[in-house]
């Protein structure tokens, strides 16, 4: 395992800055227990170092101790990541943060806002970024982690969030990313015609009909959808199967039952 961790870290350190890699990763139940497991955290560190910007979901962290532990680990080798996160979101005691980690040598935050409108279990926390490394110099990231039984309504409502974010930040380069819970268990074939994010012109889905979880059946829960302007800057988008990449086998489930989804900007 130590050899695998070392290899993964070495590959992460070879990160190429001629492009910008953006990822979204639902780290299942990422709280105090998981963040105290050094072996698990070493793998999470490798995954984080792969990206210029990574959105992490299911961050269960009331006092920011989990985020601090992660940042201390990520930056211990002289890496220079910064964070921006939402407040804990969700009903009752089951609250989660949207957490962005980003390389501040290549990426800057230009603004953020919490979208507070009824209809979302965990309303999007919208962040505007800029980078000198990309053809699209400024862009907006909109994270989402839907409630499974409300997935259709929440995904459709994201079209309104895109419009509101574009107007607020005067920018039409927009990416919506995260755990849409858009697998067939929650979004049926007949539902797609009622979801504006997938029917209206101007939106482009980059992750489709591939497994983004470790479920036995192919379930595309995690998605990336971009606007016209953002689509012009995307080189490729895919799923990062860290289980195969690091040879983890069943141990991968200790990290998460989801794989990261990612998009590369030129």
Work out the average pLDDT over 186-204: 96
Q: For residue 256, is it within any domain? A: yes
- Structural domain contains residue 96: yes
Mean pLDDT over the full length of the chain: 93
Whether 174 shows a pLDDT value over 90: the answer reads yes
d(CA 67, CA 46): 16
CA distance 183 to 170: 32
Rounded to the nearest 5 degrees, what angle is found at the Cα of 43, between the Cα atoms of 41 and 47?
110
Which residue of the set 58, 79, 145, 154 is catalytic? 145
Question: Which residue bears the tokens 């590959």?
Answer: 11
Beta-carbon contacts of residue 152 (< 8 Å; ≥ 6 apart)? 186, 187, 191, 194, 195
Q: Is 94 noted as a catalytic residue in this protein?
A: no
Answer yes or no: is 73 within a domain.
yes
121 falls within a domain? yes
| pLDDT computed for residue 118 by the predictor | 87
Q: Is the pTM of this model over 0.85?
A: yes
16 in a structural domain:
no
Model pLDDT, residue 57:
98
Please indicate, yes or no, if residue 98 is contained in any of the structural domains. yes
Containing domain of residue 117, as a range?
A: 2-11+21-265
Q: How far is Cα 252 from Cα 248, in angstroms, rounded to an integer?
A: 5
Number of domains in the chain: 1
Is residue 79 in a domain?
yes
Q: Give the whole-angstrom CA distance, residue 30 versus residue 20.
A: 25
2 pLDDT band (50/70/90 cuts)?
A: low
pLDDT tens for each residue of 3-57: 555 554 454 444 444 689 999 999 999 999 999 999 999 999 999 999 999 999 9
Of 160, 129, 126, 137, give the one whose Cα is nearest residue 232: 137
The CATH number that applies at residue 110 is 3.60.10.10
Given the residues 58, 96, 262, 264, the one annotated as active site? 96
The answer to whether 145 is a known catalytic residue is yes
**116-167 pLDDT, tens per residue?**
988 999 999 999 999 988 999 999 999 999 999 999 999 999 999 999 999 9
138 contacts: CB under 8 Å, gap ≥ 6: 110, 128, 129, 130, 171, 173
In a domain, 177, yes or no: yes
């Amino acid at each position: 395992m130590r050899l695998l961790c070392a290899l993964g870290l070495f590959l992460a350190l070879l990160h190429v800055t001629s492009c910008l890699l953006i990822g979204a990763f639902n780290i299942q139940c990422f709280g105090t227990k998981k963040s105290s497991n050094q072996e698990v955290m070493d793998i999470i560190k490798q995954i984080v170092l792969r990206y210029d910007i990574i959105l992490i979901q299911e961050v269960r962290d009331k006092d920011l101790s989990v985020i601090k532990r992660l940042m201390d680990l990520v930056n211990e080798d002289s890496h220079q990541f910064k964070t921006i996160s939402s407040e804990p979101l969700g009903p009752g005691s089951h609250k989660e943060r949207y957490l962005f980690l980003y390389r501040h040598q290549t990426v800057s935050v230009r603004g953020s806002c919490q979208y507070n409108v009824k209809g979302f279990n965990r309303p999007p926390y919208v962040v505007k970024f800029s980078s000198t490394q990309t053809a699209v110099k400024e862009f907006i990231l909109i994270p989402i982690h839907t409630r499974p039984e409300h997935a259709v309504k929440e995904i459709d409502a994201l079209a309104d969030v895109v419009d509101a974010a574009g107007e607020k930040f005067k920018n039409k380069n927009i990416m919506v990313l995260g755990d849409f819970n858009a697998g067939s268990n929650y979004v049926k074939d007949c539902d797609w015609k009622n979801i504006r994010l997938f029917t209206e012109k101007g939106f482009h889905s980059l992750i489709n009909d591939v497994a983004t979880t470790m479920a036995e059946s192919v379930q595309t829960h995690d998605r990336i959808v971009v606007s016209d302007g953002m689509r012009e800057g995307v080189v490729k988008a895919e799923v990062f199967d860290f289980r195969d990449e690091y040879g983890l086998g069943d141990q991968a489930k200790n990290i998460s039952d989801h794989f990261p989804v990612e998009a590369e900007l030129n």
